[in-house]
Amino acid sequence: STMFSGIEQGPPIEVFALNKQCLEDSCPDKVNLGVGAYRTNEGKPWVLPVVRKTEISIAQNESINHEYLPVCGADAFTKAAATLLLGEKSPALAENRAFGVQSLSGTGALRLGAEFLAQKLSRRVFYFSEPTWENHFKVFTGAGFTTAKTYRYWDPSSRGIDFAGLLEDLSQAPENAVIILHACAHNPTGCDPSQEQWKQIADLMEKKKLFPFFDSAYQGFASGDPNKDAWAVRYFVERGFELFCAQSFAKNFGLYCERVGNLTIVQKDASTTAAVHSQFTLLVRAMYSNPPAFGSRIVSTVLNDPKLREEWMDCIKTMSSRIITMRQKLYDLLKKLNTPGTWEHITQQIGMFSYTGLNEAQVKRLISDFHIYLLSTGRINMCGLNEKNVEYVAKAIHAVVT
């Protein structure tokens, strides 16, 4: 007998199962619109030229060794990451009441923040948008949160935000509840609140004493401008909120597998910085002792060098504009085909994903009849589209909705 015989088979993770299914499909027309990674117009992964150049120079730099990093990460990296988020002129950084902790990409930053909130502040209630990135639930419950609640977000009839529903649900949240907010390019819907709506969310959260935990996985990647994509976070900081923000460098640097992330912590007062930092040190020490160096060296080298940073800005413009072009192409083709329904949301949505509004049965047909792979919710990764396959995809969408 084995002690493992009672272990139940866990459910597959949809996005990775879908990816595998697509990889194994031998149809030459297959299209992968599932997993959230950038693809070039040739359908290939892209190593940003500035990243390639920098990794080579790091590998060749004899003064760089493989000693452990500090528990909370390299200063050059956490400072650069927090500054990218909060801005060069951020008073919170200047006053030493904001700092970064290096993390295992965006997921690790969320987990670390959630661990701190659960263990050090006994927070148990968290809210996420309905729908949200499917991992939020697992990360927060895994860290010890016991009460998972949702706030309304997607309105299928308008194919936009159910803003009245959002406000109503957040107004019911108990004091101290942790509210996960997507900093920009909401995954999966591609719909962000307007600046006016963010102001109303901030008003409500201030009044109800709710804690904002921003998730920033797409800064710069969404609009091509990192300052624009950080607007909501900076606005909350300016309003005087204490908050956490999980940052991922997977998309905006194309460093998916290197696990480069940062948790930015903003406090009201610098007097708590040393104690809070010390508790993060203990949390990290117990979980994985210290973070990996390679990817974070690439990011800090690029962000801290004006010339390399310019090159990076050009790269994020290349990625974001290719996505915007594909949105327009898909929309134009569906219009031309007279596909029933409204499709304006495809061009209005922001970032990597589009929530097409296709239902589960239509998604099933796209997969089985057309070898086009997308999540059952109808979410598509716009980067999977290119000049060669966009017409095929538009015709297939047309076929399954008519």
- Please tell me whether the peptide bond between 131 and the residue prior to it is cis, using omega within 30 degrees of 0: yes
Say whether 133 is catalytic: yes
Active-site residue, selected from the candidate residues 162, 169, 198, 251: 251
The catalytically annotated residue of 133, 154, 198, 343 is: 133
**Which residues 6+ apart lie within 8 Å of 242 measured at CB?**
211, 266, 267, 268
Residue number with CB closer to ligand PMP (39 or 182): 182
CB of 105 to ligand PMP, least distance (A): 3
Distance from CA of residue 248 to its chain's centroid?
7
Per-residue burial over 67-83, b if 16 or more Cβ lie within 10 Å, else e, is eebebbbbeebbbbbbb
CA dist list (Å): 328 to 160, 292, 309, 393, 396:
18, 39, 29, 13, 17
Cis peptide before 188 (omega within 30 of 0): yes
> Helix, strand, coil proportions of the chain in percent (round to 5)?
50, 15, 40
Question: Would you say 178 or 250 has its CB closer to ligand PMP?
Answer: 250
DSSP states of 36-50: -----TTS-----HH
CA-CA-CA-CA torsion sign (218, 221, 226, 231): negative
CB 145 within 8 A of CB 124: yes
CA–CA dist 40, 19 (Å, integer):
17
Nearest-CA neighbor of 270 among 89, 94, 81, 85? Answer: 94
Pairing of strands 379-381, 98-104: unpaired
Nearer to ligand PMP, 16 or 340 (CB): 16
Residue 153 C-beta: closest distance to ligand PMP, Å: 13
Residues 6+ apart with CB under 8 A from 172: none
Which helix H or strand E contains 171, and what residues bound it?
Answer: helix 163-171
Binding site for ligand PMP (CB under 6 A): 36, 105-107, 133, 182, 187, 215, 217, 248, 250, 261
Instruction: Rank residues 133 and 198 by Cβ distance to ligand PMP and give the closer one.
Output: 133
Closest distance of CB 273 from ligand PMP, Å? 25
Helix-helix angle 195-208:231-238, to 10 degrees: 40
Decide whether 261 or 384 has the Cβ nearer to ligand PMP: 261
CB of residue 110 vs ligand PMP: minimum separation in angstroms?
A: 6
- Which residues, other chains included, contact 78 with Cβ-Cβ below 8 Å and sequence gap of 6+? 72, 99, 100, 101, 102, 262
Q: What is the DSSP letter of 254?
A: T
In three-state secondary structure terms, 371 is coil
Residues identified as active-site:
133, 215, 251
